[in-house]
Amino acid sequence: MSAETTPSDAFLELRDLRIHFPTDDGLVKSVDGLSFRLERGKTLGIVGESGSGKSVTSLGILGLHNRKNARVSGEIWLDGAELVSSTQEYVRGLRGKRMAMIFQDPLSAMHPYYTVGNQIIEAYRVHHRVSKAVARKHAIEMLGRVGIPNPAQRVDDYPHQFSGGMRQRAMIAMALCCDPELLIADEPTTALDVTVQAQILDLMRDLQRDFNAALIIITHDLGVVAELSDDILVMYGGKCVEYGTAENIFETPEHPYTWGLLGSMPRLDRESTERLLPIKGSPPSLINIPPGCAFHPRCSYADRTGGKGSAEVPELSEVRGGHKVRCHLPANERHAIWESEIKPVLEAQ
């Protein structure tokens, strides 16, 4: 970080965050120049396929990457303090207290040998000098707050004695027990039954309102972010390819990749005979990111960029009012494609 950077006035701001992992096969650029801002009480959805760098970003914000095998550069500003250049000890003190995380699979994310209560008590006592009894009372209160029936009894159960949905509720209780201002949920509903997913999303929305926390939801499922997010950031190959409000993304998506995500989103109101619109190909290898626009090998419109697709990395440029897109296609052409080719198909489904 250069000395002349100005502190961020946002609650959370990432500036040009890069997280690279040197491996024997080459440099893995999991996150490559990511920037965004997030205020308290707001929700940002980060969307992308597996390997797009979503989870690496979230672990990076929490400072959970081993500095021996990860190269982190750029800036992460949390409430006026820069974290990338801070000591590990400083960031550790923030973890769990001011920023907390909800993980994907609560069964593997909780220690199998300790009771749920024990694990929440531990999380609380790291940051509060209180007796075990006080922390236990707090744990029971938190479990009750996330909707676990009989919290005073369930507090002594082990994670394997909880159902999947209850475990995720317990995980949320653990994350929220120190009243964090930033909450990151990494695929919070992916490991859950469909019927439970909606409950967990409702719970998270309610709790966020109560706690007035900034919330980042990481998911590959646009349906999840549609429910909760104020803003949406679409990631592809370690970079942001589109950023805008939820309305921007769902009503006037600009990037062909976003179109693909929308087209491959299963919806209950669809006729079952109709096909989804899958994105052809598979996500890029993060060691050999395709030259130029990382998405061009899979893009149906790459031939309309006049050869720029594979030659130049497109800039993230503003379309209007904070809605940004990283695409070589001229704005009017994108509009034309969206209006005439994509939107009718999506609406017909």
Partner 1 sequence: MVTYLIRRLIGAVIMLLIVSMATFAIFFLVPQIAGATPEGMASRYVGRTASAEDAKIAADRLGFNDPLVVQYGRFIKGIVAGAEFDYGPGVEQCPPPCLGYSFITRQPVWPDLLDRLPVTLSLAVGAAVLWLIIGLSTGVISALRRGSVFDRAAMTLALAGVSLPIFFTGLISLLVFSYGNPFAVFAQGGHYTPITENPGEWAYNLILPWITLAFLFAAQYARLTRAGMLETMGEDYIRTARAKGLIERTVVVKHGMRGALTPIVTIFGLDFGLLVGGAVLTESTYSLPGLGKYAIDAITNNDLPKVMGVTLLSAFFVVFANLIVDLLYAVVDPRVRLS
Where do contacts with partner 1 occur on this chain (CB under 8 A)?
59, 62, 64, 92-97, 100-101, 103, 105, 108-115, 122-123, 126-127, 158, 160, 174
Nearest-approach distance from CB 304 to partner 1, in angstroms: 43
Cβ neighbors of 101 (< 8 A, separation 6 or more) are 58, 62, 175, 183, 184, 185, 186
Pairing state between β 182-186 and 214-219: parallel
Comparing C-alpha atoms, which of 224, 183, 206 is closest to residue 61?
183
Query: Which of 6, 8, 74 lies closest to 238, judged by CA?
Result: 74
CA–CA separation, 327 vs 296, rounded Å?
10
Token output for 285: 């290898």
Radius of gyration of the chain (CA): 21
C-alpha 190/C-alpha 195 separation (Å) is: 12
DSSP secondary structure of 28-59? EEEEEEEEEEE-TT-EEEEE--TTSSHHHHHH
Query: Quick one: CA dihedral 328, 266, 205, 140, positive or negative?
Result: negative
Smallest gap from residue 96 Cβ to partner 1 (A): 3
Residue pair 261/282 in contact (Cβ under 8 Å)? The answer is no
Residue 25 DSSP SS3: coil
